Chain A
């Protein structure tokens, strides 16, 4: 169940050349209860990996199985059933808005999936509420609200399809710090209340550290690391992964070095502060 990658290789084909974007990826994603962070520098295959999860791209070699549907498949399969179960939110999703009103735009996905009419309305409204859009905005044009709100509406559009797994490609990119935090809290709430597995692509190690419980590191199409975040941040070869520590860990390392405060893996500044208080009082 969930999503499984088995020896997946994918190439982008050019005029004469082809470029290996994914190289023998093996991966297992549970349908419930995980928050998985995916990182790696640009061009490492993160977005390509994610597009395999709802059948937008199909593997050249190997298979991807999404909720027991095999891809690529010789039989004709309705990709829509797959897209219903795995919701994919692209980078800058606000660009995909097009309807006259916010509510209509959110209803677009469920309508395509031919859900019944009465439920479409209530689902759309509840997913708009889940992302924190006020009911007074429902009949407004999606082009007249702020960028952060547009992104929320776009995410609501995918949420309204009621996917089991929600995949987000750099959801916080281009938002201000407050907006970033609000968005992540909102996603975390959705995760907690519905136990949906979240996959989040991000460069921001603070965000991944604070919210993810498992991290996948991609490098030039290969999976470099896959596992618990504690294991990643205490990995002996961490320096070779071209990643940065979350700022809380940087602070902890610095304090450990300068005033020999006991070192502990902590992911938020609040935790760090209480840790410091605890030890300074001693």
Chain B
């Protein structure tokens, strides 16, 4: 529980850390938009562009002094998504131009392969706690699934043919790298920006909405309070969990019905505590003169610096180049 960090800010002193949060967030948005603008068809130029973005991302990570492994770890939660998008692209989507890369390969869903798959699945679930490189092991087992279907045709029920086409493979790779770049860029923002800074940046970006009578500062305050209270609530939850564990709650060895009561024994106290905290906080804020909608000043006023201008200019340049390439050539 204590290892859970939200936002995962990693302290540092690089130029990315010092960049104005508004500029950082705007740049991120612009970069993401331009990456999505690149058409998916898998022309060579588009691939080069994507490779360029990948290179840019890696350069950014390197210059931010954040260990690249840490950034790659951010990909772990979407590993499933990545694997399945690639698989679906390769297996199901039909290409327009059928340039085959391989001979057709037949896979069998037979009694033998299905039972082998079940055995493999159970073995995977059982053995994965001892494997150190879990991600690689997962990828290996995905390959294993197809390998088993390939070599076990006995007692056939259903078979299907797969041909690798140039277009589908390129497209799968394209989608794969697009997701990877997007996740890496976004996690770079959270790695190099404190939550308070993100909040300030958000407020700055949303400022134009104020003319449309949207209460931007109230929204920003809500966001920052929410972020502020996540760690506090985690600590409280940890305390309650320990207290209930002392009363014999054991999540591992409980039946489903018991588990429900046990979850309730955690939820209700946390609710009660958070309501209490909210009330205390509201009083404390009011006592210190917070009035909703009133103009407030800040301790740290964000100021645009030289580097901010340069990086914003660079990002706009990159974006316009991409737009030019995509729409006008």
Contact = CB atoms under 8 A, between A and B. Distances in A.
Do the two shown chains form a genuine complex with each other?
yes
Interface of A: 12, 15, 51, 54, 56, 78-80, 83-84, 87-90, 93, 95-98, 108-113, 143, 157-158, 161
A79 B272 contact: no
A159 to B, nearest CB: 11
Nearest to A51: B242
Interface of B: 2, 5, 10, 236, 239-240, 242-250, 253, 258, 261-262, 264-265, 267-269, 272-273
A12, A108, A111: most-surrounded residue (chain B CB, <10 A) = A108
A80 B245 CA distance: 8
B268 A109 contact: no
B250, B258, B273: most-surrounded residue (chain A CB, <10 A) = B250
B247 A108 contact: yes
Nearest to B10: A15
A112 B246 contact: no
B247 A158 contact: yes
A161 B264 contact: no
Contacts of B268: 98
B269 A83 contact: no
The binding surface of chain B is classed by DSSP as helix
Contacts of A109: 247-248
A143 B272 contact: yes
Contacts of A161: 247-248
Nearest to B268: A98
A113 B2 CA distance: 27
A95 B269 contact: yes
The 4 A-B residue pairs with the shortest CB-CB distance in the complex, in nearest-first order: A112-B248, A98-B268, A109-B247, A88-B246
A83 B272 contact: no
B232 to A, nearest CB: 14
Given A51-B242, A90-B239, A108-B265, A95 B272 contact: yes
Contact of A112 (B10, B250, B264): B250
A54 B250 CA distance: 13
A108 B265 CA distance: 9
A186 to B, nearest CB: 19
A96 B240 contact: yes
Nearest to A95: B269
A97 to B, nearest CB: 7
A56, A96, A158: most-surrounded residue (chain B CB, <10 A) = A96
A3 B239 CA distance: 23
Nearest to B249: A112
Contact of A113 (B245, B248, B261, B264): B248
A97 B273 CA distance: 11
A56 B245 contact: yes
B250 A97 contact: no
B10, B245, B249, B250: most-surrounded residue (chain A CB, <10 A) = B245
A78 B250 CA distance: 9
B246 A158 contact: yes
A96 B248 contact: no
B247 A96 contact: yes
A87 B246 contact: yes
B231 to A, nearest CB: 13
Nearest to A112: B248
A15 B239 CA distance: 20
Contacts of A87: 246
Contacts of A90: 239, 242-243, 246
Contacts of B273: 95
